[in-house]
Structure 1
Amino acid sequence: MEKNDGAVPGEVEPENEKQLLQHILTVVNRLDNRIKNLENDTAKIEEIRSSISAFSSRIESLEKSVEKIYNHISQMEAGIEGLGAVVNTVIDKCAQNKKDIGSVDTKLIEMEMEMRKSEKIYFENMQKLQENVLDLKCRSMKYNLVFSGLEYQRDENVKVKLREFIKTELGLDQHIDFVNVHRFGSPGLNNARPIVAKFLFRSDLEVVLKNAYRLKGKQFGINEQFPREIENRRKPLYPLMRKAKKEGKKVSLVRDRLYIEGKMVQAQAGTEDEIVTRNKEYRDVLFDRAVNNPQLPPLPPRQYKRARSEDSVDDTSNSPTPSTPR
């Protein structure tokens, strides 16, 4: 007969039960830890899923942007192709324009050469015309003599005074007919304005000129009247003429040409200032200097100055009438 220790059949001993519970608790703790790890892993998976979803959205957005960029690139390529065609057209036009410009330059050079030829012909013709006009002026003054040094008197009869001068100073008692006699210009010898007389006959003028030597040493003078241009050309010839006369040479001054011993002589060219001063009246030179130097005192009014009018041929007039400007 077995020994009965008082244990009930089917019951676990307390020590075994405690170990079992301890074991179960350990298993449960392990399971709990695993569940917590799984939960943590699940949360990470969700985060990864969200990140992947956001990344997918960005990729889709980038794909759309890339597609737009591609479309823009396609449009730009098409535009560049069109621009290339335009550039080619412009290059062709530039080449054509260059040819046209070269042709125009050639024509301009030809036109310039023609213009220079025309200008040369024009100036030559103008010079000839000026010489012709100057010749006509000389011809119009062919019968004129200028008398210098005759004193001025108010209300004078210039024609009567001139006839008396010719009779007294030149010793010519013959009657001389004048077309016109009057004073002109600025004061000269004896502080009197010269008198210009237009002779009716050239022979009378030559007689007066031949007797002009009687005025040597006196404050009077007789000269032929010439246009201003001829006078300016004659002035540099006067010193050469005087020198040749002192040397006893045969001298002839015809208009603006000086002949010494039958050979034409030309005056040496002076400086530019000398030429400019020579071609101007003394009063004009003073006026230019006053303009260039405002500190100089103003010029006094010209004596006996009056307004110019048309020439008069009135033979009985007591007042002087203006002449053709010298």
Structure 2
Amino acid sequence: MAASDRPTAFKQCNENRKGKKMSSSNTEQFVNMNIDDKLLCIFEKINSVEDKIPQCRSDIVRANKNFKRIEDRVCALEQVCEWQSEMDRSMCYHSIDRNARDMRNNIIIYGLSEKMSYNDRTLVIRFLENELEIETEGMMIDRAHRLGRINCHLNDQKRPMIVRFRDYVDTETILARALKLKRSLFGIDRQYPKEIARARKELY
């Protein structure tokens, strides 16, 4: 029998044997069937499966289209996320660069005692003159303040002091003399944004 004639033959067989249809779900019943009834049950199952094939194909095509649509949206979202990540990284770099430029006139001095009766600016001037032998006439300090909290348990606390000079050239002059403090209790460094300071620390 040709394959194209099978559905018709199955249907004819079903019409001729309607009175003897039995469920194939029960194994014992199926075993006790005669050959014709078994073939009829098999034909019924094949017919039901063949009837569902077009619907399955339609569902597969629809699922493939939906999957392609979802895949395209995921790719678009990945591109947007990548672009957003690049923008965030760029903005972060710009922010760090701006902070570094704002701090270019700042230095941090370590080891200055807080027992001195001078105010912070006078203490810095005296430190520059005595320890670094710098002529401070004409230097303008915009502001000077300590870093960190006061520890009442320490007799002579020496919190770092941030000093901002009006002119960048003064900052460079001071940092150029920093080697004079090599064997002293004092230290000088340029103030950096925390991201740059962390990176420098890791490098060192």
Task: Calculate the TM-score normalised by the size of structure 2.
Answer: 0.65
Alignment of 1:74-223 (within 5 A): 95-153=57-115, 157-175=119-137, 176-185=139-148, 192-223=158-189
Q: What residue is the counterpart of 2:21 in the other structure?
A: none
Q: What residue is the counterpart of 1:226 in the other structure?
A: 192
Shift of 1:101: 2.3
RMSD, aligned α-carbons: 2.8
Query: 3-state DSSP class of the match of 1:219?
Result: coil
Query: 3-state DSSP class of the match of 1:151?
Result: coil
Q: More relative contact order in 1 or in 2 (CA 8 Å, sep 6+)?
A: 2
CA-to-aligned-CA distance 1:53-109 (integer Å, 9 cap, x gap): xxxxxxxxxxxxxxxxxxxxxxxxxxxxxxxxxxx9998766544432221111111
Question: What amino acid sits opposite 1:170 in the alignment?
Answer: L
CA-to-aligned-CA distance 1:83-139 (integer Å, 9 cap, x gap): xxxxx9998766544432221111111111122222222212211111111100100
Q: What residue is the counterpart of 1:16 in the other structure?
A: none
Question: What amino acid sits opposite 2:141 in the alignment?
Answer: F
Q: Percent identity?
A: 24
Q: Distance in 1 between matches of 2:52 and 2:104?
A: 74
Query: 3-state DSSP class of the match of 2:183?
Result: coil
Task: Calculate the TM-score normalised by the size of structure 1.
Answer: 0.42
- The 1:172/1:96 distance shift into structure 2, 3 A limit, reads same
- The 1:160/1:90 distance shift into structure 2, 3 A limit, reads farther
Q: Distance in 2 between matches of 1:89 and 1:126?
A: 56
CA-to-aligned-CA distance 1:22-81 (integer Å, 9 cap, x gap): xxxxxxxxxxxxxxxxxxxxxxxxxxxxxxxxxxxxxxxxxxxxxxxxxxxxxxxxxxxx
Query: 3-state DSSP class of the match of 2:164?
Result: strand
CA contact (8 A) 2:128 2:136 kept: no
Q: What residue is the counterpart of 1:274 in the other structure?
A: none
The number of residue pairs the alignment matches comes to 151
Shift of 1:168: 1.1
Q: Distance in 2 between matches of 1:200 and 1:212?
A: 19
Structure 2 unaligned segments of length 5 or more: list them. 1-49, 151-155
Query: 3-state DSSP class of the match of 1:146?
Result: strand
CA contact (8 A) 2:96 2:193 kept: yes
Shift of 1:170: 0.9
Question: What amino acid sits opposite 1:99 in the alignment?
Answer: V
Structure 1 unaligned segments of length 5 or more: list them. 1-87, 239-326
Q: Distance in 2 between matches of 1:164 and 1:154?
A: 11
Q: Distance in 1 between matches of 2:191 and 2:143?
A: 14
Question: What amino acid sits opposite 1:121 in the alignment?
Answer: W
Tell which structure's C-alpha radius of gyration is larger: 1
Question: Which moves more between the two structures, 226-235 or 117-126?
Answer: 117-126
Q: Distance in 1 between matches of 2:122 and 2:62?
A: 79
Question: What amino acid sits opposite 2:112 in the alignment?
Answer: L
